[in-house]
Amino acid sequence: MVRATLLIAVLGGLLPAQTVTLQGPIPAKPEETCSVCNTPVGPGGEAYLADGQRLVVMAAMRDELLANPLQYAKKYRPESMMFTVRRAGPLHSAYLWIGIYILAGLLFGGLSAHSAMSKGLPALEWFLLGFFFSVPAYLAVAAKRTTVEVPAGLAKIPLTRTPGLCSHCRAGNHPSAESCIVCGAPLTPTAPSEVRSLS
C-alpha cells in the first residue's frame, strides 16, 4: 500500500497538465456537426485543429469553443496513461528510478520468500516484507534460525525406513513385514509395525 501510494504521488507530479493547441480557423462544411451544441453548423461555420483533431463550431458558438477548447477536444480523444494522443516528451528520469525500485522489490521479495520457505517460515509474509523493504528484509530472514527440519532437495526423508529385501526373490518389503509380499517366504522384521503401534 505504501509503495502504491508513493507511485501514484510521483506519477501525479510527473504527468503534465492537459493542454490543447488550436490552429485555424478554416471554413467548415455546412453539414458538419458543431462540437459545442451537436447540431449542423450551417453557413459561416468554422473548423479548428486541436492537436490534429478537427473541431467544428457554428458562428454563434465560436466564443464558447475558444474559451475552453480542451473540454470539447476531450470528447474526441481517449485520455489515459496507457493510450493517449498527447505529444510525447522526453522520459523523466524518475520513471527509471521507479522501475528500478519495483524490480528490486520483486527480486528481494522472491529471495526473501525462498529463504523463508527453506526455514519453514510463512513465505507470503516475507515476500511482502522483501518487496517493500528489499535488502533489509532479505538480510533479516537470512539471519533467522529455525528448529524446523526441512529435507534438502529431493533427498529421502530421514524418518522413512529402508525396505528390506527378500532372501528368496529379492523383492522389496516393508521392514516390519513378516512374510514376502511376492513369494510369501517368511521374513524377520527389522522394525516395529506402525499399524500395531497405533492400535
Q: Which pLDDT belongs to residue 61?
A: 82
The pTM of the full predicted model, rounded to 2 decimals, is: 0.34
Please name every residue paired with 173 in a beta bridge, in sequence order, or none if there are none. 164
- pLDDT at position 72 is 74
What pLDDT score does 82 carry?
A: 46
The CA–CA distances, whole Å, from 58 to 23, 24, 77, 89, 166 equal 16, 14, 21, 34, 102
Residues 6+ apart with CB under 8 A from 121: 141, 144, 146
Element (H, E) at 47: strand 46-50
Cβ-count burial 128-167 (b if 16+ within 10 Å, e if not) = bbbbebbeebbeebeeeeeeeeeeeeeeeeeeeeeebebe
- pLDDT (tens digit, 0 to 9) for every residue of the chain, 199 residues total? 555 554 555 455 544 556 767 777 888 888 888 888 888 888 888 888 877 778 888 888 888 878 878 777 777 665 544 444 444 456 678 888 898 989 999 999 999 999 888 877 888 999 999 999 989 999 999 888 765 555 555 433 445 677 888 988 988 898 888 999 999 999 988 888 766 655 5
Q: Rg (Cα) of the chain, in Å, rounded?
A: 37
Question: So what's the pLDDT on residue 81?
Answer: 42
Helix (H) or strand (E) holding 109: helix 93-118
Cell of 19: 493542454
State the CB neighbour count (10 A cutoff) for residue 13.
9
